[in-house]
Amino acid sequence: MEFTLKNFIFYGFALMTVGSALLVVTVRNIVHAAFSLMVTLFGVAGLYVFLQADFLAATQVIVYVGGILVLILFGVMMTSGRLEMRIHIERGQLLLGGIVSLALLMLLLTVIANTPAWKNLTDDGTELPPTTERIGELILNGPFLLPFEVVSVLLLVALIGAALISRKEVRD
């Protein structure tokens, strides 16, 4: 593989994603973990750009970084009273969890390396047109109309349920 600027940026994003994800699961301070998660989410958005999924990348940044991460930080603040919380980890669990995760990673890597249908599929670097228009067409006027409506109802139900669960109970 030749060493071009594009490859350099790709490996940068890959390292950023994997490295910050490693921080998310190892760091002891939960706020630091949340900010590492933000870097991971940005890294994944960058990988979406490399996959020529521009709309997906924008959605990732808006929904994950702008929405879910803020929710997580609110959760931290409302359940600890301050912005400092240490995460308790048991040593035996760390060992067992590490063994299970490593075995899983080995399994996945073996499958990825040995599946014939996935080999030699390189990105030829052709520029595709922006996807936003086609996604809108497929969602609102195509085969994904029904799943889209179902997901929107699900989102409404989940939000109403979340508001109902988290409110203070009123006793009369």
16-35 residues in contact with other proteins (CB under 8 A) are 17-18, 21-22, 24-25, 30, 33-34
Least gap, CB of 131 to other proteins (angstroms): 6
The amino acid at 106: M
Residues 102-131 that bind other proteins (CB under 8 A): 102, 104-105, 108-109, 112-113, 117-123, 126, 128, 131
Asked whether 33 and 23 are in contact (CB, 8 A), the reply is: yes
Residue 9 binds to other proteins (criterion: CB under 8 A): no
Which one, 8 or 172, has the nearer CB to other proteins? 8
Helix (H, G, I), strand (E, B) or coil at 86: strand
Cα–Cα–Cα angle for 88, 90, 95, nearest 5°? 135
Least gap, CB of 118 to other proteins (angstroms): 5
Instruction: Read off the tokens for 48.
Output: 């979406």
Binding residues for other proteins, rule CB under 8 A, total 84
Residue 139 binds to other proteins (criterion: CB under 8 A): yes
For residues 60 to 99, the per-residue mask of contacts with other proteins, x marking binding by CB under 8 A and - elsewhere, is x--xx--xx--xx-xxx-xx-----x-xxxx--xx-xxx-
The label of the residue with tokens 């052709």 reads 126
Q: Work out whether the CA dihedral 31, 32, 33, 34 comes out positive or negative.
A: positive
Which one, 5 or 78, has the nearer CB to other proteins? 78
Q: Work out whether the CA dihedral 138, 141, 143, 147 comes out positive or negative.
A: positive
Beta bridge partners of 86: 29
